[in-house]
Amino acid sequence: MSLQGPWAVLSAPGLLFAALGLAALSMPFMTLSANRIVAGDGVLAWRVADPSATLPGLAAIVAGLMLGLPSGRTRLHLAGAVLGLGGVLWVLMQGASALLDGAGDYARVSPSVGFWFLLVVLMLLMADALAAMTPRPLLRAAFLAAALVATAAILSSGALSDLSVMQEYAGRRDAFRSEFLRHLGLAFGSLAAATIIGFPLGILCHRRSRLRNATLPVLSFLQTIPSLAMFGLMIPILGWVGTTVPGAQAIGIAGIGFAPAFVALLLYSLLPVVGNTAAGLASAPAAAIEAARGMGMTPRQRLMRVELPLGLPIVLTGLRIVLVQNIGLAVIAGLIGGGGFGTFVFQGLNQTATDLILLGALPTVVLALVAAIVMDILVELARPTQTVTQ
C-alpha cells in the first residue's frame, strides 16, 4: 500500500492509524459510576482531570500518532507507538485518582471505549512497525520480555490501583493467584497430555494410512462439538465414571471440577496434535526419504534424523494452535467448577459486575497473546535451514 504524488511522503497505514486515533480521542476515555454494579457516565480524555495534568498525556498521544505518519520510517513509527502508549497510560493514571476525588466511597472508575480504541490503534501501529523491521527470533523474544516487564512494573507500582478492575483484584489477590495457576494447569496440562497421546498417534497415522483414515475423521468430529456442549457432556460421563469405577473419586474424577474440564480440553487438542504430526512427517521431500532408505537407515533412524527434524515446524504449529485454543477455552471450565480465570468471568456475569469479568478476561487475552508469540518464535527457530540463498 503506497500513496501517490505529494502524498507519497506519508505512510498509508500511518494516516489510517492517526485518523482512527484522533477519532478515538473524541469518545469517552473513562467511565465514572456510583458503585461497581450500575452503569456509569463517560468522560472525555481532556475532562478526566485538571487540564494541566492531562495535557502532557494528550500531547504525547497526538505526537505519537503523528510520528506514525512519515512513510518508510519504521523506527520512528515504533517510537511514536511507545510515546502514544505512554500518553494513554499517563491520562489513565491522572484520571483514575482525579475522578474518584469526592465521588463517594463506592464510586468506581474504569477505562472506557476511547481508551480501548486508542490502545488497539497504538498497538497496531507498533505491530506494523515491528513487522516491517522483521526482527530475528531472539530479538523478538527480547521485545516481548521488555513489554511484559514494563506491564508488570506499571501494575505493581500502584499507579493504576484506583481503577475498578484493580480494586476487584485487590479484594481477590489470593484467589487470583490460585485461579491463574489453575488456568495454566488446565491449558498446559491438557497440552502435555494431548502431546503424550497425540504425538505417537500422529507417527502411527503417518506410517499406516488406514489408521489415519479412521482416526482423523473421529478427531475432526470431536472438534465440531460446541465447547459449551462438550463441557456439559463431560458432567454426566465423568460423573458416572466417578461413582462406578473404584478409586476414580479418590484421584479427583467427578462430574464437575478439574477432571471434566481437563478431559474436554484434551479432546479438543487431539486433532491439531495428531493432524499436524502426521502432516509434518509427510512434509519431508520424497527424494530425501528415498535416499534415507537407500543408504540403510532403519525406520526409526529415518524418523529421528530426517522426518522429524524436517516436520518439526509443522508439529510445533499444531502445538501452538492447541495452546492458544486451550487458554481461551479454559475460561469455560469456570462454568463447571473447573477453576481458572473463567471463575471471575462467570462470577462477574452473575453479579453484572463488568470489571470482575475483565479481571478474568484480560489476563486470558494477554496469556493467549504471549503464548502465540512465544510459539511463533519456537516454530521459526525449528526451521531446518534459516538462510536459504538460491
Q: Which residues bind another protein (CB under 8 A)?
A: 285, 287-288, 290-298, 301, 305-306, 309-310, 384-385, 387-390
Give every strand in the sheet of 41-44, ordered side by side: 41-44, 28-33, 108-111
Quote the least distance from Cβ 137 to another protein, whole Å.
17
Quote the least distance from Cβ 212 to another protein, whole Å.
23
Q: Is 330 exposed, middle or buried (0-12, 13-18, 19+ CB in 10 A)?
A: buried
Cα 272 from Cα 202, distance rounded (Å): 10
Cα 124 from Cα 24, distance rounded (Å): 14
Cα 252 from Cα 189, distance rounded (Å): 15
> Is 29 in contact with 112 (CB distance < 8 Å)?
yes
Task: Please give the grid coordinates belonging to residue 382.
Answer: 525449528
110 pairs with which residues across the strands?
Answer: 31
> Is 276 in contact with 315 (CB distance < 8 Å)?
yes
Cα 95 from Cα 118, distance rounded (Å): 16
Quote the least distance from Cβ 294 to another protein, whole Å.
3
Residue among 4 and 390 whose Cβ is closer to another protein = 390
Residue among 144 and 378 whose Cβ is closer to another protein = 378
Quote the least distance from Cβ 68 to another protein, whole Å.
38
Quote the least distance from Cβ 310 to another protein, whole Å.
6
